[in-house]
Amino acid sequence: MSNEELIGNGTDSECFDDVDGNRHLGNDSSTSYSGNHMFGNDRYLEQDSNSFVNGNCLELTSVIPSENDEPTDVWKDVNPDAALDIVEQVCCPPNLDKSFFKMANICIPRNSYINRVFEMELPSSERVIAKFYRPNRWTRDMIQGEHVFLKACSDLGIPVIPPNFYKGETLFMLGNTYFTIFPKKGGRVVDELNEDLWKETGRLLGRVHNVAQTVSLDRMKWTPSNATSVHLKTILSSAALPEDYSLVFEKTVMDFIDKINNTFEMEPVQLIHGDCHFGNIIYRPGESLYLVDFDDCVIGHPVQDLWMLLPDKIKNCKLELKWFLEGYETFKPFSRSSLKLIPYLQIMRQIHFSAWCALQFKEDHFKHHFPEWGQVKYWNQLIKDIQESCRDGFLDSDEE
């Protein structure tokens, strides 16, 4: 990714823009919402050139499926005009007449497939990020717990971005949709880590995991018998899986769960970030690496927050692992035996992604961004990958 591009392709890195503050519009800065340049109170929408970039949305795979998630029109209450109105109401100081508090006529959609995210400008010229959480995905307590986690980290000087408080609250509603307002900060995705950055990443995650042990959140336990079982149920109950594949797919996933769940249960779990990849680690020049997007935090194994950063199989990443652990263990011990979970965590993520797609494949934009998902060859490959995972996983672990 070039320095001129906005960070966050394929992620929910809503709080960041490029460090120079440029707005980086599309080819036509007057690109409109729903075909109209003007809507509501003469407000206009500027199209972000990086919204829904084909191929990059694959990293948005940490959604926890809900049986109550509606397959279509979940965003009917969230449009730019309504978003601007409600954010204006929330941000207006309680001692100020609302008629004197007017947002700028700017609402820029930011890159996020799961949620709806808009950049806006307050009357003070301060830019903020309004993040509207996908309906039926989280409860109020789950989202507020995420905010508590972020604040606990921030209070100890850990580089994360907690939401803004307005009238003592961080969580608000537009219709049936929860939303939060974050400060906008500049930063860039780190495409590749050198020795110093691997050590810094280790220190960052070690500190975050230390704080996480002091926070109690209602989140899914990321083990095969819990998470993967839910994802399997989601896939089987959808119309995405061809009927003649149901039995073999169910048996394949259940065999996977039965064979490796005890291996997971032998390792201690705690609250973790859950979706730690390069798109969610942001560099701010002159400061440090920032960890963003805590939506998908789960109760899981700390190694889950390591494996997506590795450039290859564990056996080929001994130097990167050495640097990471040197930083991590400055603050917290790391279970070396948990490294054997990595091949299975990779398969769990593939099944998880399939469940996420099964929930959304009927939505308007889905087929445009994932045109080949759900075809027979997709299910054939996934079944093959799962069937081979235990054998290959044990071989990789033995080689270590």
Residues 131 and 207 occupy one common structural domain:
no
Residues 106 and 219 occupy one common structural domain:
no
Instruction: Kindly tell me the sign of the dihedral angle through the C-alpha atoms of 52, 298, 204, 192.
Output: negative
Q: What's the pLDDT score for residue 51? A: 29
* DSSP for residue 43: B
pLDDT lower than 70: segments of the chain: 1-72, 392-400
Please state, as a whole number, how many other Cβ atoms lie within 10 Å of the Cβ of residue 242: 12
Q: What's the pLDDT score for residue 48? A: 35
Q: Please choose, from the candidates 130, 143, 151, 331, the residue with its C-alpha nearest in 3D space to the C-alpha of residue 219.
A: 143
Give residues with Cβ within 8 angstroms of 291, minimum separation 6: 158, 159, 160, 204, 205, 208, 273, 276, 280, 281, 282
pLDDT tens-digit map of 211-220: 999 998 889 9
pLDDT tens-digit map of 244-258: 999 999 999 999 999
Please state, as a whole number, how many other Cβ atoms lie within 10 Å of the Cβ of residue 102: 13
Residues 200 and 107 occupy one common structural domain:
no
DSSP E strands in 147-296: the ranges are 172-174, 177-183, 185-186, 188-189, 270-272, 281-283, 289-291
Within a domain: residue 162? no
99: domain range? 16-55+72-138+168-187
Residues 203 and 232 occupy one common structural domain:
yes
Per DSSP, the three-state class of 372 is coil
Residues 200 and 298 occupy one common structural domain:
yes
Residues 263 and 284 occupy one common structural domain:
yes
Q: What's the pLDDT score for residue 399? A: 46
pTM (predicted TM-score): 0.80
Residues 233 and 343 occupy one common structural domain:
yes
Q: How far apart are CA 78 and CA 83, in angstroms?
A: 6
